[in-house]
Structure 1
Amino acid sequence: MYLYGASGHGKVIAEIAEENNIAINAFIDQNVLKTEFLEYKVLHGIPDMDADFIISIGNNFTRKKIADSNPTLNFMKLFHPRSIISKKCVINVGTVVMGGVTINPESKIGRHCIINTNSSIDHDCIIEDFVHISPNAALAGDVKVGEGTHIGIGANIIQGIRIGKWCTIGAGAVIIKDVPDGATVVGNPGRIIKIKNNY
């Protein structure tokens, strides 16, 4: 397996692979000054199109750009052995689930998502592609999160909420109303502080 992105997020994903006894061939990174990372070799191009890959980059837009630019790569999914994942949920390729996460029945997780440490996704949630659910964030049942959205650390989202595409939910925010595409929301209760149209 190759990890695409030799940075801090890559450290966490590498350890998950090691915990699962999955061999890491090398990291891939565009920074030509990086030649070694976590004692693994760093390459600056894709050496084997038939290998397995994970994009180990935290930025949602960058993950989407890499995935869209490499549609034929065999992206895998990776789960920390100390996560709790219902057998009745669906998780798509490229997604990584960190330690302490709970994902409950009938939830659907899209492609290339990050479900980060100790976060909780309850029943019947829909998480679209390229979403990042940060550590200790909690989603109640039947929450929908649109493509590319970043749910900040420790945020709480009540049941039935719809959050649009490419939103930013601030750290510790409490979301009790639906959120439109491109919105940045902070506070308790959550309030919109800006909306970007070019996401």
Structure 2
Amino acid sequence: MKIFGASGHGKVVNAIAINNDIVVDGFVDDNYEQDSYLGIPVNNVSKTDKIIIGIGNNAIRKILAYKYEHQWHNALLHKSASVSLQSQIGLGTVVMPHAVINEAYAIGNHCIINTAAVVEHDCIVKDFVHISPNVTLCGGVVIDEGTHVGAGSVVIPGIKIGKWCTIGAGTVVIRDIPDYAVVVGNPGRIIKYNKGD
């Protein structure tokens, strides 16, 4: 397996691979002067390589996902994560240490469920979403494509968050959020909108 991204997030993805006894035989990175990372070669990807993205930026993950759509590794789950057998987890998704996914309906492709995040029952997390460390998604939450939920945020039950939103660290989301909104505070309030597609 190869990992896109020879930097901080790639380092964590590599640790999860080691935790699962998966051999990482290369990193792929656009820093062409870097020939190794963590003692592992940095090189190109071939058409036969299985790959996973070790890049935190949701938009970059989406670009790479479509460019290499037939080569993705299955979801990569740290052994300390608690994941319900009833959950569906998409290709290329990474579940970090001590995350909890309880009877979630579906986690999409190329998502990040970060350290100690909690995804409660009946949640839907769509493709390219990043759930940051210590986030709590209460039951029945829907997070649309590309949204980033900042560290320590709480989303109350039944809330729907649109696509490509940014939820600031520590935000408490108590009402539905439209596409592209940037939300901060307790209770969460929209302060601006991200640029659309």
TM-score category, normalised to shorter length: over 0.9
Identical columns (%): 49
The separation in 2 between residues aligned to 1:89 and 1:72, in whole angstroms, is 23
Q: 1:108 aligns with which of 106, 115, 121?
A: 106
C-alpha separation in 1, matches of 2:168 and 2:130: 12
Q: Kindly state the Cα deviation for residue 52 of structure 1 after the two structures are TM-superposed.
A: 1.5
SS of alignment partner, residue 170 of structure 2: coil
In the alignment, which residue of structure 2 is the partner of 1:8?
A: 8
Q: Report whether the alignment pairs 1:18 with 2:13.
A: no
- What is the aligned partner in structure 2 of residue 187 from structure 1? 185
Choose the corresponding residue for 1:99, options 87, 97, 102: 97
Q: Over the residues paired in the alignment, what is the CA RMSD in angstroms?
A: 0.9
Out of 167, 170, 181, the residue aligned to residue 169 of structure 1 is 167
Corresponding residue for residue 37 of structure 1: 37
Q: Given residue 7 of structure 2, which amino acid in structure 1 is its aligned partner?
A: S
How far off is 1:195 after superposition? 1.4
Q: After superposition, give the CA deviation of every residue in 1:40-90 in whole Å (9 maximum; x if it has no partner).
A: 1101x213x222210110000000001111222233210000000000110
Instruction: Report the counterpart of residue 83 of structure 2 in structure 1.
Output: 85
Matches of 2:74 and 2:7, distance apart in 1: 19
Aligned residues: 197
Gaps in structure 1 of 5+ consecutive residues: none
- What corresponds to 2:132 in structure 1? 134
3-state SS of paired residue (2:42): strand
* TM-score, normalising length: structure 1: 0.97
1:197 Cα offset (Å): 4.3
2:147 to 143, 149, 161: 149
Q: Secondary structure at the match of 1:74?
A: coil
Q: CA deviation at 1:106?
A: 3.7
Conserved 8 A contact 1:52-1:76: no
Partner Cα distance (1:105, 1:183) in 2: 28
1:74-117 CA-to-partner distances (Å, cap 9, x unmatched) read 33210000000000110010100000100011431000000000
Which letter maps to 2:59? F
- Which residue matches 1:46? 45
**Do 2:172 and 2:186's aligned partners in 1 also have CA atoms closer than 8 Å?**
yes
